[in-house]
Amino acid sequence: GVDIPPVGVFIIERETGWLKVTKPLDREEKDKYVLYSHAVSANGQPVEDPMEIIITVTDQNDNRPVFTQAVFNGSVLEGAEPGTSVLRVLATDADDAVNSNNGVVSYSILSQVPEKPQPGMFTIDSSSGLVSVAMLGLVAQEVPEYTLEIQAADLGGYGLQATATARITVQADNMSEVGNGTLTTHVLNTATGLPAAGLVVRLAQLQEPGPQWMELAQRHTDADGRCQPLLAPGQAKSGTYKLHFETAEYWQGLGHTSFYPFVEVVFIISDPAQKLHVPLLISPYSYTTYRGS
């Protein structure tokens, strides 16, 4: 802070010994300085051993929370019980969250669109950002999608604020349809042992002579890590298909950084009448899949 980088941050008055700063300090750039003061006589001879001075920069709440993404997507089965997990949002704050509340983020739901069958169909854990079902009454035919405005505020909920959007798809609870699907999938988070909910899954088919891919379906995994059939009975044809899993967005929502932004599984259907199940096991660092029927 004096003669090594960052240089010139501090000066000391030779006569009084007052230590002063020469410019504003930013804790987010450097939170501690270690200085060594030397007392010398008029002819430059040391009169005392050097003294170590440790300066800790106290945090100011000068950074607002930042959501890891503008829109979070999730899905839930209609008729889901209160307490069913739907998705998780995440916001970060550069301020100090250890020695102060400046960087402690608290979450809340500002609005729900539409407000049917009534407001407050969903709730959010103020600390973890986990959105879950708050009350009974989700019906896919009446309200197929909800849009929530989520707020993150530091100082434990009383400071600077930021907002993001959560889109929740309500899936019809038609288990017979799921069971009769030609192509199904299931995604499991092996880091927690829980289903991966709210993960975007896309299905595409290779168009001959190629190499063009035509998207056939897009789904969101539900609270059980499953989604509606990607190929309904009679829809499958012989050919090459690709399942695309948006894993980066899922891990970001949980506060993790993944080594891979997505996972793609390419497979061939030779018998359109055969039922196929393609599970996916994921962690932030690896993934595994296999083909079942």
- DSSP secondary structure letters along 267-288: EEES-TTS-EEEEEEE-SS-EE
226 annotated as a binding-site residue = yes
C-alpha distances out from residue 15 to 12, 41, 153, Å:
9, 11, 47
The full length of the chain comes to: 293
**Where on the phi/psi map is residue 155: left (φ > 0), alpha (ψ -120 to 50), or beta?**
left
- DSSP secondary structure letters along 28-59: TT-SEEEEEE--B-TTS-B-S--EEEEEEPPP
33 annotated as a binding-site residue = no
Q: DSSP state, 25?
A: -
Burial of 171 (0-12, 13-18, 19+ CB in 10 A): buried
256 annotated as a binding-site residue = no
Bind-site residues for substrate: 186, 226, 290
Bind-site residues: 186, 226, 290
